Amino acid sequence: MDWSHFTPWSSLIGGCVLGVAASALILLNGRILGVCGILASVLRRDSAELPWRLSLLAGLVVAPWLLHALAGMWPAQLQLPAPRVPASWPRLAIAGVLVGTGTRYANGCTSGHGICGLARLSPRSAVATFAFMASGFGTVFVMNHLLFIG
């Protein structure tokens, strides 16, 4: 266990915020909050759905600024740690291609299948989530404990 980085409370609260956002999109706009699908359809320029999708993506991009503006209001010990990015450039590129292609074949990613799908009790999404979790765990195991390149 890595107790020094374990953040049960902020992760639980953050998770609930994700749930609120997914709930708002289905109840207000009648759409599933699946980020890779939204991104892919922007690339394809689907007409009627394009404005709200671009708008949602813009919200994602602006989020760190909002949090940064708010962060001045709470004490230093509650500040978010700086992100750690251990992957090399080639590995980032390969990973991106695999994520882009894989999520299209799967029709969903962590948000669409992992949050919305599981919340709908969809067996399809349960299979997808189990599969990407399993290969995620497997990949990290191979990198860190067999190849020692983590």
Partner 1 sequence: MASSPSSTATQVLTAFAIGLTFGVGLLLAGMTDPGKVLAFLDLVGPWDPSLAFVMGGAIGVAFLAFRHAVRRPRALLGAAMQLPTLRAITPRLVLGSLTFGIGWGLAGYCPAPAIVNLGVGQPQAVVFTLAMLAGTALFDALERIAPQRWIVRVPAKTAETH
Token output for 114 = 């992992």
Residue 131 touching partner 1 (CB under 8 A): yes
- Separation between Cα atoms, residue 50 and residue 32, nearest integer Å: 14
- In angstroms, what is the minimal distance from the CB of 80 to partner 1? 6
Helices 123-141 and 89-106, axial angle in degrees (round to 10): 160
Q: In angstroms, what is the minimal distance from the CB of 58 to partner 1?
A: 6
Burial of residue 74 (number of CB atoms within 10 Å: 0-12, 13-18, 19+) = exposed
C-beta of 103: minimal distance to partner 1 in Å?
5
Least Cα distance to 98 among 135, 124, 61 occurs for: 135
Contacts to partner 1 from residues 70-109, by CB under 8 A? 80-81, 83-87, 89, 91-109
Residues in the interface with partner 1 (CB under 8 A) total: 118
Tell me which residues in 34-73 interact with partner 1 (CB under 8 A): 34-37, 39-41, 43-44, 48-53, 55-67
